[in-house]
Structures are given as C-alpha cells and as structure tokens.
Amino acid sequence: MISSSSSLTEQLKTFEREAFRLEILDEYNIPASAENLRAFLAGEPQPVDYNRGWVETVRAATQAGKRMYRVHIVSRPLTDYLRYELGWGYVKNMTGGEEFFILDTTDKPNPLPAAPDFWLFDEKTPVVMEYDETGAFLGPDLLPEENAAEFIRYRDTALAHAEPFSSWWAKHGG
C-alpha cells in the first residue's frame, strides 16, 4: 500500500476518464480553511479567489473531457462546516465543471454505513482518505487495482440513492 499526498496529487493530475469522490464526514478539519470558515459563519462575502486552485484543476480536467464528480452523505440539520462546504465550496467548484450529488440520510437509513471516504480514479485506482476523530486528514491510502470492484459498488450505491446537489440545495440549503 502506497501512502502519500504526492501520490494523490499525481492521481488527480493523471486520471484519464473520471475521478469520483465519496465524502462521509460532517466536519473536515482543514487548518488552511479556518479563516474562510470563520468568514462564512460571520456572513462575510466569499473571497473572489476562493478555491481558485481547485477550480482551475477541475476546469482543466473537464475541458479535456474528463468527469469529476462526488457524493456527500449528509444528515440534516447540517453542521456549520457542511453549510460552508456546500454553500461556498460546492457552488464555487461547480463553476469548474465538478458535479455534486447528495445522499441525504435524514429520513432513511444510510445504504453505505461501512464505506470509507475515498477517491476512485478511472474505476481502477481506489484511494481511501484517512481522517482522525476530529476530521483532520491523516493521509491517502492508494489501494491495489484488485480492490476497485468494491469501490465501484460503493460509488454505484451512493449514486443510486443520491440526488443532484442543485435540486437538493434548493430544497434544504441556502
């Protein structure tokens, strides 16, 4: 098992067709985002350059005909962090062409209670995102290709139970 952030960065730059992400946490403890989270909670306007690097990465991929999409498993009421991530992050990232879906478990059981937080690249390279109990990122675990079928099932189940972010957000978000 390879474990390094540089390997994840390389996967994000070199995937050929699609990059799928399943997000399962209610809170991601990202020190670099602390000031933006504070500004969001204070009702301040989103900085013009917010998430610029990621949006450029997504735009380069989608303009090359690649698909970047994710499902986030959530339950309402949303945490302050999720309101920030969805309201500022997802809305901004969509401008680069990233697609988002919400699997809302508020009124139904989670169909993926054992699924980890992960990326899946080109249906062959699963990368489990490891976090501690506070939501701090510990690192990625790149798994061998023989593990891909399990992660394809997670992806397909998540998508079968999710709805497009825009319609979900119109009903439950900002």
| End-to-end Cα spacing for the chain | 41
Distance of CA 147 to the CA centre of its chain: 20
Distance CA(44)–CA(145), nearest Å, equals 44
Mean pLDDT of 86-90: 96
Q: What share of the chain is helix, strand, coil (3-state, %, to 5)?
A: 40, 25, 35
Whether the ω angle into residue 77 lies within 30 degrees of 0, i.e. cis, is yes
CATH topology of domain 5-172: Endonuclease; Chain A (3.30.870)
H or E element in which residue 1 lies? none
Domain boundaries, the chain: 5-172
pLDDT on residue 35: 94
- pLDDT-derived band at 15 (thresholds 50, 70, 90) equals very high
- pLDDT-derived band at 4 (thresholds 50, 70, 90) equals low
pLDDT on residue 9: 87
pLDDT on residue 173: 84
Distance of CA 75 to the CA centre of its chain: 16
Mean pLDDT of 118-132: 97
Give me 170's structure tokens. 């119109």
Mean pLDDT of 90-105: 97
pLDDT on residue 43: 96
pTM here is: 0.94
Give me 134's structure tokens. 């506070």
What ranges in the chain are assigned the alpha helix state H?
Answer: 5-14, 34-41, 52-63, 80-84, 91-94, 148-161, 165-172
SS3 of residue 22 by DSSP: strand
Mean pLDDT of 127-156: 96
pLDDT on residue 78: 96
Query: Residue 51 has what DSSP assignment?
Result: T
- pLDDT-derived band at 89 (thresholds 50, 70, 90) equals very high
- pLDDT-derived band at 7 (thresholds 50, 70, 90) equals confident
- pLDDT-derived band at 28 (thresholds 50, 70, 90) equals very high
pLDDT on residue 41: 96
